[in-house]
Amino acid sequence: MKLLRKLKRLAFAILVMAPISPAMAGSLTIAAAADLKFAMAEVVDTFRAARPDDKIEVIYGSSGKFFTQIKNGAPFDMYFSADIEYPRKLEKEGLTAGPTRPYAVGRIVLWSLKPELAKMALKDLPGSSIRKFAIANPQHAPYGLRGKEALQHQGVWTAMEPRLVLGENIAHTAQFIDTGAADAGIVALALVMSPTMQGKGAWTLIPDAWHAPLEQGFAITQRAAGNPLARDFANHMASEPARAVMRRYGFVLPGGEGK
């Protein structure tokens, strides 16, 4: 009997001291707009600091394409869109586990590896030496649509159309410029402020009065209705560590903070 009691105590001690099994750790798959490529990576790091066993995968791409994929059943737990209207549409169709939440307002810039091109006024672009000008595809990329609106506001959209190189998303657009496939273009402020892009060429902020607001929002998908990790990450976006990251990348936060 003594031996049996000792074995039970030993088994209990082993159970208490054993690390949490990876199978018990949370799992989260996030579809995120391409402008979040660098900022979201840091936000995830701040979240993981207190929960290193959780598995979080972020896939970056076009907000419009993610919208279509989620409608068709793509296995994403959270959807961070560069246009808040996309998750709101999913919400109206019953495809989210709760209300859409705003998380930032984005800004666009004229960027080029040649500083003289980055400092040009948009209205002067048609008369410049630019042969290829990059924007994200306005058909499904919110940043591309806002870039088109800015060019239209300055009356140069039609003149610049033959020179356009369309990226699949805003990160792809920045890659065109970074590799020299385009002489200049309109990209997200959050990308040119990243450690990877800082110091490359120059950029000029485009007035936000020249285009509709880039109000961005996220939602937990219906697939993740019972996933506590999704709720925790949603709440983390409102925390000061996450907000500090977003401010550093040039995002304007809900309430106007960061302007």
106-210 and 2-105+213-248 share a CATH fold: yes
- Distance separating alpha carbons of residues 62 and 166, to the nearest angstrom: 12
What's the pLDDT score for residue 50?
A: 87
* Fold (CATH) for 2-105+213-248: D-Maltodextrin-Binding Protein; domain 2 (3.40.190)
Where residue 257 falls among pLDDT bands split at 50, 70, 90?
Answer: low
Q: Are 121 and 156 in contact (CB under 8 A)?
A: no
The total number of residues shown for the chain amounts to 259
- In the chain, the amino acid numbered 137 is N
Q: In what order do the strands lie in the sheet with 78-81?
A: 55-61, 27-33, 78-81, 214-220, 101-106
Q: Are 127 and 160 in contact (CB under 8 A)?
A: no
What's the pLDDT score for residue 70?
A: 98
- Quick: pLDDT tens for 88-136: 999 999 999 999 999 999 999 999 999 999 999 999 999 999 999 999 9
Query: Is the pLDDT assigned to residue 188 strictly greater than 70?
Result: yes
Domain boundaries, the chain: 2-105+213-248, 106-210
**DSSP type of residue 141:** -
Q: Are 159 and 109 in contact (CB under 8 A)?
A: no
Return the exposure string of 202-236: e unless at least 16 CB atoms fall within 10 Å of the residue's CB, then b: bbbebebebbeebbbbbbbbbbbeebebbbebbeb
- Distance separating alpha carbons of residues 169 and 28, to the nearest angstrom: 23
Q: What percent of the chain has pLDDT over 70?
A: 89
Architecture in CATH of 106-210:
3-Layer(aba) Sandwich (3.40)
Work out the burial of residue 168: count CB atoms within 10 Å of its CB; fewer than 13 is exposed, 13-18 middle, 19 or more buried.
Answer: middle
- Quick: pLDDT tens for 10-32: 444 433 344 434 445 789 999 99
- Quick: pLDDT tens for 120-129: 999 999 999 9
3-state DSSP percent of the chain in helix, strand and coil, to 5: 45, 20, 35
- In the chain, the amino acid numbered 210 is W
What's the pLDDT score for residue 165?
A: 98
